[in-house]
Amino acid sequence: MRHLLVPLLCATALSGCAMPGSRADLAGANVATARSFCAGSASPECRFVDAPVQLGSTPTRVDGRGQTFYATSRKLTFVDGLNETWVAPAGTLTDGASIPKVFHGIVGNPTSPSFANAAAIHDAICGIGNEQGQVYHTRTWQSTHRMFYDALRVGGTDEITAKVMFAAVYLGGPRWGVNGYRSDPRIANVPDLEMETAMRQAKHYIESDNPSIPRIERYLDRKLDIMFGRLDGGRDDMDRGGPVYIAD
């Protein structure tokens, strides 16, 4: 999807916004076909440091949001499948769930302790209340959401559940531009009902076929293309309201 994935840029263009020497961010702007993903808690290259996440006892409300946030009381570090290091500094606000609220009826409200470490790292990069944090938006949105999948797997989440949760943040989670570029703003204008329908179909696709992360990304990009076409007043004859299956 060329108009949405604006960060499909060359390494030179990305170097102004990524952490120096970060291969994850260079890879994050491209389809993840060559990326190594964590296979689970036993993956030798994937690990948390200083886990589990430690939270302070004082609840925090942010911007009138209904959920309650807590600040991490110490740094949490994660090493992903590319051997890249991700950090949630002490003071990172997290509510223990990185799944967009619109999808809670499909995925559930993921506040299980097995998700907490992944959510804290994800929230440090793109979560509400962390906009002034030292690592906020320092990585591409693509690599951040892939890291979330890795962190879920290392935390003990089974493969299918982790892929469904990855699909939820990829489809409806935050996206941000890099080096002066912006992600397509139309994603915020897609009606909730369309997003929910797309997520239910994605969940069925994942549970039925167990596709790879790159296939899930291409599947969701196609779904968004269709929805953006409707917003633009167009019609895609390939859309029949059912799942869009993507071959390797």
Q: What is the pLDDT of residue 233?
A: 67
**For residue 1, is it within any domain?**
no
Please report whether residue 245 resides in a domain.
no
| pLDDT value of residue 118 | 94
Question: What does the alpha-carbon distance between residue 203 and residue 78 come to, in Å, rounded to a whole number?
Answer: 27
Asked if the structure places residue 15 within a domain, the reply is yes
The tokens for 201 are 């179909």
Give residue 22's pLDDT: 41
Structural domain range at position 22: 11-231
Residue 244 counted as domain residue: no
Own/partner pairs for 26-32, CB < 8 Å, 24+ apart? Answer: 27/82, 27/143, 28/139, 28/140, 28/141, 28/142, 28/143, 28/144, 28/146, 29/140, 29/142, 29/143, 29/178, 31/214, 31/217, 31/218, 32/142, 32/146, 32/213, 32/214, 32/217
Residue 109: other Cβ atoms inside 10 A = 14
Q: What pLDDT shows up at residue 102?
A: 73
pLDDT value at residue 84: 94
The total of other beta-carbon atoms located within 10 Å of residue 180's CB is 8
Asked if the structure places residue 168 within a domain, the reply is yes
| Number of domains composing the chain | 1
Predicted TM-score (pTM) of the model is: 0.77
Q: Within a domain: residue 57?
A: yes
**What is the reported pLDDT for 59?**
83
Residue 241 lies inside a defined structural domain of this protein: no
Does the residue 6 lie in any domain? no
pLDDT in tens for each of the 248 residues of the chain?
A: 333 333 322 232 222 333 333 444 444 444 444 568 998 877 778 999 989 999 888 888 777 666 788 899 999 999 999 999 999 999 999 987 777 777 877 777 666 777 899 999 999 999 989 999 999 999 999 999 999 999 999 999 999 999 999 999 999 888 887 654 556 677 878 888 989 999 999 999 999 999 999 999 999 999 988 888 877 765 544 343 444 434 43
